[in-house]
Structure 1
């Protein structure tokens, strides 16, 4: 008897399992906080160079004298005052001294000199040569302060934002490796708890940081912590429920992620200073300190490590809460069978498997890249950032709900292919509204359309991809796919900010085009993949080879309806993997 057979007999989703799943899954909300808060705390508001020597300068023009000083000191561009340059002569000591003669009360930012005195300053500028500025003033109408305004992450330093986001993703990628190793060796509970403590420390560390180096160290730690908490909480929740419930529970945790997005929006709208916002988002994580007593160790992991008595204790609690009977001891004989490990050599032995690996992994890579790229890009779109984020969160909820209703009705392949292709096309088409001067909302609408469909593709690929691999390597193959997807998310910060780094007319549309093009390409590749709905899933590499020779027929392995349903559900469940 296999472990899933035991769960079917004692109950697949009873009170004890629901309670454990709830406690294991609810941290997805906290992970969403720390993952997406960067959209608000690292926002770069409108800004310009500060007037040299005038410490009472502000982003808003106060009066006519202030305007004259701006004209004298800072060049104008088509978008307003220059963000990165001042007139070179405005930097010399003579001009600064004249400012101090003319300007009084600089501490409170008022100008008491008369207009004729201020206008005389223009006579000191004899050339239009420019120099880069080293101080800025910011629009504080939306955010009172952000990381970008406190540390002047603008102009030549604007690359620091995508670099900081990349460091966070490197931490997440590192977390995939280290947490996977720790979870296999020491169980799911220990790395989950350590990750929870790191989530608390990293969050408060960011809030009280005084420099960018410490900030990036904390973000790296948070990247590891997010993966430790989300992945191990996900696995504990999935491994304690029966096979027929794992598709639902695997997708429901994504809904909790979306709940986290909406709560984050509420916090960000209410708290406009980034340090206070980060503190408010970190306080709920303190509850993770009590999780050692709230969730059990995964009984499946205990069984796989030969700790049968401990595994049986958890299973007995499940049976007691479901008011069912445990199977007889002799029936649990196969409960401690080890999983077959994935070998790269096996990939290259089968042409069919090799092709599927390349297509599925390339799709995972691009989906993660586009998903996180569009998420980070919301701060660069025009319009109200809070409304944009709200639309994004609502569409993401819809996008993750779609697979639940369509996969078993329409099929995996059509839902996935349509989703990824429409997502890519919506992003690429955004180029045309910019080129032809369409309203700003047209680009936002296309971006949100891409966001909706890439979320659907995100939800489908981990079910569909798992069913394409044979049982003997399914879990390991999907685990490797998750690692590949993290590499895609690693480069997404630079893609999201490529418009800012390049500048020009296409600033808003360029990131969408860069992300949409590969999405269309891998979407076309995915058309080659077979449909898996209603077919018995491959168990061995030989099954794949036989499938290749009978590619044009349906139900290639010839099985009864009952077996088809059972194999499909188990395949879906086995392939669902924590990906945040």
Structure 2
């Protein structure tokens, strides 16, 4: 029965089973690459959430900064109450139309906030003429605070997230095609390098437009960086272990998500947070000698000798014998793949809508 099942497998799956499709070699990659490699991906992929956080803010009034009033008392004198969706809230973008120079004199003479409010009562408000003050309970500084992305610039943080998504849509097919052309391993390290450079550069650019462009480039790399560790493992493990690889990677991603707020809480400054999280790209380059190229991809590129070297390395680590006539068998794998590719090219995008189940899955995944 087992022999019949083996004969029903594609030839490469049989070769992989012979060298060991989940032995010490693959377990080592899971232990030292997949799990620890995916955790930091969440850190430098999603640090933008904290970069663009907008703290509570109110109009900057230099006169009140010279007083000994608490922040709360200053806000009482500055911020008018406005209704938003039927709820009364303190205004972020307007201030009371008071003579704050005279108020400062009154404060220095010992007047209380309540008496000043009753004495200078005014129903008119004006836009903030001198910028904003920001609440520092959670952050010392964010990108939104640095460039004052509030009030008339309120849509700008959302624009950053939108263009990050646009970058993903545009870049993913490019890097996906690149991984088919130059290999999974080289594409992975190229993406890590571009993420490192664009991520650090975005922290020190002098204007918001440059920041926006660099974050779009940086965000466009996230899906590829997330997928390639899985792909590298998928292509050297048996089919019955691929769900397990996805589960382990998802757990690692969740660990990264849960620990990222701790970095933001401890570091408090978006530049420092960006430096620490983005510099976790650097240890990835230590994987260069440890991480193998996908033997499946090498076979598809007719680089049989290199594929044999990697498969031999897998067999030796797993304590399995090296299969006989490996080069010839790999050539047969490539020929079969080429025939299947010719059949696939007869289809186009309309095949996604031709069959009921495929159409349903495509629509659901697109909406998600």
Q: Give the TM-score, by structure 1 length.
A: 0.54
CA contact (8 A) 1:195 1:224 kept: no
- Consecutive unaligned residues in structure 1, runs of 5 or more: 104-110, 368-580
Q: Does the Cα contact within 8 Å between 2:299 and 2:331 map onto a contact in 1?
A: no
- 1:258 is displaced (CA, Å) by 0.9
Asked if 1:131 is matched to 2:126, the reply is yes
CA distance in 2, matches of 1:314, 1:115: 81
What do residues 116-172 of structure 1 show as CA deviations (whole Å, max 9, x unaligned)?
A: 89967977776x344332522222112222222222222232211111011111222
2:77 corresponds, among 69, 77, 91, to: 69
What CA distance in whole angstroms lies between the structure 1 residues aligned with 2:69 and 2:168? 37
Distance (whole Å) between structure 2 residues aligned to residue 351 and residue 226 of structure 1: 28
Instruction: Write the distance in 2 (CA, Å) between the matches of 1:114 and 1:57.
Output: 11
Tell me what 1:311 maps to.
307
Matches within 5 A, 1:114-513: 114-115=110-111, 128-134=123-129, 135-329=131-325, 330-336=328-334, 337-338=337-338, 339-340=340-341, 342=344, 345=347, 348=350, 353=355, 355-367=356-368
Q: What is the total number of aligned residue pairs between the two structures?
A: 348
**Deviation digits for residues 94-129 of structure 1 (CA, Å, limit 9, x no counterpart):** x365457x28xxxxxxx5343289967977776x34
> Which string of whole-angstrom CA distances, capped at 9 and with x for unpartnered residues, describes residues 260-297 of structure 1?
11221322232222222222212222112333222121
CA contact (8 A) 1:51 1:57 kept: no
Scaled by the length of structure 2, the TM-score of the pair is 0.82
Distance 1:58 1:227, change over 3 A: farther
Helix, strand or coil: the match of 1:8?
A: helix
* Partner SS, residue 58 of structure 2: strand
Partner residue, 1:394: none
Pick closer, same or farther for the CA change 1:290–1:113 going to 2, 3 Å: farther
1:343 Cα deviation after fit? 5.5
Alpha-carbon displacement from aligned partner over 1:410-462 (angstroms, at most 9, x marks no partner): xxxxxxxxxxxxxxxxxxxxxxxxxxxxxxxxxxxxxxxxxxxxxxxxxxxxx
Distance 1:68 1:188 in 2: 59
CA–CA distance in 1 between the matches of 2:56 and 2:263?
Answer: 22
Q: In the TM superposition, what whole-angstrom CA distance separates every residue of 1:38-84 from its partner, at most 9, and x where no partner exists? A: 33332222223334765558995455xx47733xx744555442112
Q: 1:154 to 1:308 in 2, by over 3 A?
A: same
| Counterpart Cα distance in 1 of 2:67 and 2:321 | 76
Gap regions ≥5 residues in structure 2: 1-9
Q: Is the 8 A contact 2:20 2:315 kept in 1?
A: yes
Aligned-CA RMSD value:
3.2
Q: Does 2:52 correspond to 1:42?
A: yes
Q: Distance in 2 between matches of 1:115 and 1:197?
A: 60
Q: Deviations over 1:223-259 (max 9, x none)?
A: 2332332222221121111222111112211111012
Distance verdict in 2 for CA 1:67–1:6, change over 3 Å = closer
Distance between the aligned counterparts of 2:223 and 2:111, measured in 1?
Answer: 60
| Relative contact order higher in (CA < 8 Å, ≥ 6 apart) | 2
Name the counterpart of 1:377. Answer: none
